[in-house]
């Protein structure tokens, strides 16, 4: 009895220590970012307050946070899964674009189908589109030809060009005179939305992927073998674990999950394929997964945190005329602080 209480106290103390450590990191990062904004002649405090009011002031603002979390959850899983076998996937952005691209191809070909048929097909196509894009680095890595970090980064620049090629060319909607985009999706190709907000079925995809990820990693033989590969690929190979197949399959599935984020973006949010599909969700998802240490619960918490941070970026864009990309400073400073405080090697491959 007494030992139980002591254990609970210890746990509570650890939790409090962790929470206060995160609060300290956030405070330092917000302070550094505020100093930079002030130096640029902007008003950071007003931006922070505006964000708080916007995000937590009413139900709609809060629902937009959930909307923002959807692509972050998915792209974070797309990073977390490969880290479990020691791979670094920085290609979420390109995989997202290719998922959106293939889903749009499906919509254009099958737009006369009812939603019950169309939506599952588009979901699969989104997954396959992103998956194939990650398959290329996966195969190159598994054959020991090219490091997956550099190849996924390079392919990020190719995927938006493919999307642009199609919406400036064959898929260009006749109504879009100045701003090239694909024709609007039919209603049957739009993911259902909830509560008169923009929160959509993509949230279910995000949570489902996260639960599956957690189950596979903790409850299956696959998870065990993946950990073996991450620990020592050579030893795993000698134990008879098919390392090549794991590397290729894990990259395909990870890319597929990021591709789902692209499918959700075109089907639920944009309703058509556009060239500026993502303000860097793939990259933010990378930060989320890295800071979460690839744990499923951490990904949910960090997605929420980064959704709030992204909202600061929106506010800065709308009220102070700054580009959204400025928010990358805040994200980078957080990552720098965490990396600097982590003992060496814990984030290593």
Residue ranges that bind other proteins, judged by CB under 8 A: 36-37, 40, 88, 90, 140, 144-146, 149-151, 153-158, 161-162, 164-165, 168-169, 280, 283, 286-287, 290, 321-323, 325-333, 335-336, 339-342, 344-345, 347-349
Q: CA 156, CA 78: separation in Å to the nearest integer?
A: 14
- Other beta carbons within 10 angstroms of residue 55's beta carbon come to 19
- Shortest Cβ distance from residue 118 to other proteins (Å)? 28
Q: CA 192, CA 47: separation in Å to the nearest integer?
A: 33
- Shortest Cβ distance from residue 97 to other proteins (Å)? 13
Q: CA 332, CA 327: separation in Å to the nearest integer?
A: 9
- The residue among 57 and 231 lying less far from other proteins, judged by its C-beta, is 231
- The residue among 215 and 325 lying less far from other proteins, judged by its C-beta, is 325
Q: CA 250, CA 248: separation in Å to the nearest integer?
A: 6
- Shortest Cβ distance from residue 284 to other proteins (Å)? 9
Please list, residue by residue across 140-172, b when 16 or more beta carbons sit within 10 angstroms of its beta carbon and e when fewer do.
Answer: bbbeeeeebbebbbebbeebbeebbebbeeebe
- The residue among 9 and 157 lying less far from other proteins, judged by its C-beta, is 157
- The residue among 240 and 321 lying less far from other proteins, judged by its C-beta, is 321
195: left (phi over 0), alpha (psi -120 to 50) or beta: left
Q: Are 125 and 109 in contact (CB under 8 A)?
A: no
- The residue among 83 and 200 lying less far from other proteins, judged by its C-beta, is 83
- The residue among 214 and 324 lying less far from other proteins, judged by its C-beta, is 324
In angstroms, the Cα distances linking 70 to 156, 209, 253 are 20, 11, 17
- Shortest Cβ distance from residue 114 to other proteins (Å)? 34
CA-closest candidate to residue 227, choices 83, 56, 66:
83
- Shortest Cβ distance from residue 237 to other proteins (Å)? 19
- Shortest Cβ distance from residue 247 to other proteins (Å)? 16
CA-closest candidate to residue 327, choices 269, 287, 289, 293:
287
- Shortest Cβ distance from residue 154 to other proteins (Å)? 5
- The residue among 203 and 290 lying less far from other proteins, judged by its C-beta, is 290
**CB-based contacts of 67, cutoff 8 Å, min separation 6:** 197, 198, 199, 200, 269
């Amino acid at each position: 009895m007494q030992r139980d209480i002591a254990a609970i106290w210890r746990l509570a103390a650890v939790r409090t220590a962790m929470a206060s450590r995160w609060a300290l990191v956030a405070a330092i990062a917000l302070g550094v970012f505020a100093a930079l904004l002030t130096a640029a002649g902007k008003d950071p405090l007003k931006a922070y307050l505006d964000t708080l009011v916007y995000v937590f002031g009413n139900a709609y603002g809060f629902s937009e946070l959930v909307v923002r979390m959807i692509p972050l959850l998915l792209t974070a899983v797309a990073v977390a899964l490969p880290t479990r076998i020691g791979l670094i996937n920085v290609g979420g952005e390109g995989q997202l674009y290719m998922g959106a691209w293939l889903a749009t191809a499906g919509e254009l070909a099958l737009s006369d189908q009812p939603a019950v048929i169309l939506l599952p097909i588009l979901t699969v196509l989104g997954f396959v589109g992103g998956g194939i894009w990650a398959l290329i680095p996966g195969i190159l890595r598994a054959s020991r030809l090219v490091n997956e970090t550099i190849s996924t980064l390079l392919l990020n620049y190719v995927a938006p060009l493919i999307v642009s090629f199609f919406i400036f060319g064959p898929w260009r909607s006749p109504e879009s005179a100045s701003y090239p985009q694909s024709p609007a999706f039919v209603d049957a190709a739009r993911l259902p939305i909830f509560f008169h907000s923009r929160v959509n079925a993509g949230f279910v995809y995000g949570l489902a992927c996260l639960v599956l990820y957690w189950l596979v990693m903790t409850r299956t033989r696959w998870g065990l073998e993946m950990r073996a590969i991450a620990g020592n690929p050579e030893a795993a190979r000698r134990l008879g674990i098919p390392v090549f197949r794991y590397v290729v399959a894990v990259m395909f599935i990870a890319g597929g999950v990021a591709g789902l984020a692209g499918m959700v973006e075109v089907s639920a949010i944009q309703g058509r394929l556009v060239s500026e599909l993502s303000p860097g969700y793939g990259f933010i998802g990378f930060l989320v997964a890295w800071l979460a240490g690839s744990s499923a619960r951490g990904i949910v918490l960090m997605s929420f945190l980064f959704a709030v941070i992204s909202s600061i970026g929106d506010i800065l864009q709308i009220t102070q005329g700054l580009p959204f990309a400025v928010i990358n400073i805040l994200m980078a400073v957080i990552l720098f602080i965490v990396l600097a405080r982590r003992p060496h090697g814990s984030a290593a491959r």
